Structure 1
Amino acid sequence: MSKRPYQHLPPLEHRPDGSPYRITPPQKRRASGLIRRECCNCEDGNCLALDDGDTCACPQMISFSVCCKWFRWAVLPLDRTLEAEIYRDRDLKRCAECGGVFVPKSNRGKYCPDCAARVHRRQKTESERKRRSAVDS
């Protein structure tokens, strides 16, 4: 593995005025949790990619802007909803069942992934029940 694995990643996006994308405190908490759970470049809050002998705090965990290439391109895509909230590049929808926010996989998406399986199972059961009752004995 190269000493700086993040140098070959695409550059960070900026707003049209040149400023970095900002994140709110609730988004920062979710991002920090995601970094702690999923990021292979963060150990005990220290960034291994920036480590040159001295420990260096992970810049993404202490910043309210998207400032780390590794976070942007390797970690943030793991939580599509958080990515869409920060970048607003994808439309967010509210789940018709639970009211939670989710990123739909198509323009017809109506339910979040958790509720989709439950609703589909319920609809299939009702459909089968109707089909069986319509059969003449």
Structure 2
Amino acid sequence: MALLNAKTLRDVRKCVEKYCANYAGGVCILHESPCDYYGKYGHSVSCDYFEQAVLPNEPLLQKAYEEAHGIINAEKEAVKYNVGKCAKCGEAFIKRSNRAKYCGACHAVKQREHNRNYMRKKRSS
């Protein structure tokens, strides 16, 4: 985890004072201790409540905060993988090849069905 620069830390503290429901006079009500961002190591800590509930209210601050802390957006991460939609059940799954049409569970069912039909045809001829 990287350190927040002085400007970002100052903006985070303002945001905590203004929007955080758990902040009361320098104390975090949730943890019953001093707020993480006001301590000696405030530039290098993170608070889950702040990141999930408060930070989304400030998009520019959120971007700077996430860059400093190395937080990866799940949507950006999903782009790295070839995500497909199963043709049978509609579930999203990570495609291991461009030809993949089914998720793991549906693929096994389809494979058995295909093998069954193949053997029927082979036995009848």
TM-score of the two chains, using structure 2 as the length reference? 0.48
TM-score of the two chains, using structure 1 as the length reference? 0.44
Which structure shows the bigger proportion of residues in helix conformation? 2
For the pair shown, which has the larger CA radius of gyration, 1 or 2?
2
